[in-house]
Amino acid sequence: IEKPASAEEILSTIAQVMQQQRNDRPRVLIVDDDIHILKVLQILLAQWDLEVSLLADPKQFWQVLESAAPDLLILDLNMPDYSGIDLCRAVRTASLWHDLPIVFLSSQSDRQTIRQIFAAGADDYLNKPIVEADLQTRILSRLERSRVSRQAADFDGLTGIYTHRRGIQSLTQLIRLATRNHQSLCLAILDLDLFKQVNDRYGHGVGDLVLKQFGKLLRQNFRSEDVTMRWGGEEFVVGLYGANSQQSIERLNEFLEIWRQQKFLVTATESFSVTFSAGVVEYLQDGSSVELLYQRMDKALYQAKETGRNRIVL
Ligand code: GH3
Ligand code: MG
Ligand code: MG
Ligand code: MG
């Protein structure tokens, strides 16, 4: 039996997901066993308009990393039980975080240590005691560079929604959230019908405009806690958080209706519209991977195409 979501649960999930989608204030997570250093850094970084999370106990690292979802990680080299080097190596092999910028703080500055730090995958290091101006320059410039490249990697240039790569990250997070909060979750793949004909008849440029408009309407018609992405070509995936299969089908049908009404003018007198087919799958709290869910929704999509297109199939 499914536990209905309380208002607070839904709100906190929305807050979490929205925070990750918003990219206004960069987030920095600092891990250091020295609480005084944490406090000093917190005050400094807050002055530079960064959102700061602090962690003194590296045992909670993964949990805090996931909830803080930082844009940059500052790691202390020496901590009891854990070395920053080990944490850094582990982050580099975690698929969700492998490209997170990592800056080390270290009171050791011998060659051997520095070599180890970079070998573990660090992007930069700073000596303790920390010089404020150095810290500011290094952190802000690294954040800016990663913001620019992340923007390009995360958002599809044509449609403005998540790319495949970023979308998979978000779906993985959504699956985890749904599991943890015992929430319903559905994924749907939307594939434009006979899109090749649109290109053939009206040209690739018009086809691009149709895709662009599809992305815009997806953004407008799905809630902020849902995740929308361009899966590739004329295929899109939506993660519907807090919706069971029936609710998802309802919402997708509403969207199909909106999309069908969308007219594209070719000349003053000639216009066309495009439909889509969708395959839906419900996540059953069983730890299924995105890959597995994809296979199931792709089967449903195939059925939607086989049975006449322009429809949603579970
Ligand atoms: P179906 O209803 O079975 O999905 O038919 P379809 O024609 O949509 O399917 P098919 O997979 O054969 O063709 C997809 C077309 O989408 C072919 C490809 O040229 C077009 N397409 C993919 N990406 C883009 C793009 O970025 N811009 C444009 N204009 N067309 C694209
Ligand atoms: Mg230390
Ligand atoms: Mg296709
Ligand atoms: Mg198609």
pLDDT tens across the length of the chain (314 residues) = 445 566 566 555 555 555 554 557 899 999 999 999 999 999 999 999 999 999 999 999 999 998 899 999 999 999 988 899 999 999 999 988 988 999 999 999 999 999 999 999 999 999 989 999 999 999 999 999 988 888 888 999 999 999 999 999 999 999 999 999 999 999 999 999 999 999 999 999 999 999 999 999 999 999 888 999 999 999 999 999 999 999 999 999 999 999 999 999 998 899 999 999 999 999 999 989 999 999 999 999 999 999 999 999 99
CA-nearest residue, atom 30 of ligand 1? 207
Query: Residue 59: its pLDDT value, please?
Result: 93
Secondary element (H or E) of residue 286: none
Closest ligand to the CA of 192: 4
Query: Residue 81: its pLDDT value, please?
Result: 86
Query: Residue 149: its pLDDT value, please?
Result: 86
Ion ligand 2, residue ranges at CB < 5 A: 33, 76, 78-79
CB atoms within 10 A of CB 288: 17
Query: Cα 258 to chain center, whole Å?
Result: 26
| Ligand 2 centroid distance, CA of 144 (Å) | 27
Residue 50 to residue 46: CA distance in whole angstroms: 5
Amino acid at 153: A
Candidate of 161, 196, 210 to mutate for ligand 1, largest count of ligand atoms within 8 Å of Cβ: 196
Atom of ligand 1 lying closest to residue 199 CA: 29
| Ligand 3 centroid distance, CA of 39 (Å) | 52
| Backbone CA torsion sign across 97, 100, 103, 109 | positive
Query: Residue 198: its pLDDT value, please?
Result: 98
3-state secondary structure of 196: helix
Atom of ligand 1 lying closest to residue 208 CA: 29
Count the residues in the chain: 314
| Ligand 4 centroid distance, CA of 275 (Å) | 9
Residue 103: beta bridge partners? Answer: 74, 124
Q: Structure pTM?
A: 0.74
CB atoms within 10 A of CB 81: 9
Which of 281, 212, 194 is CA-nearest to residue 220? Answer: 212
Which of 111, 103, 102 is CA-nearest to residue 130? Answer: 103
Which of 155, 152, 139 is CA-nearest to residue 105? Answer: 139
Query: Residue 9: its pLDDT value, please?
Result: 60
Residue 64 to residue 36: CA distance in whole angstroms: 19
CA-nearest residue, atom 23 of ligand 1? 233
On whether ipTM exceeds 0.95, the answer is yes
Structure tokens at 210: 């149709």
Query: Residue 14: its pLDDT value, please?
Result: 54
Ion ligand 3, residue ranges at CB < 5 A: 191, 235
CA-nearest residue, atom 5 of ligand 1? 194
Catalytic residue ranges: 234
Enumerate residues lining ligand 1, CB below 6 A.
191-196, 199, 204, 207-208, 211, 233-234, 305, 309
- Tell the residue number behind the tokens 């559905």, with chain if given: 186
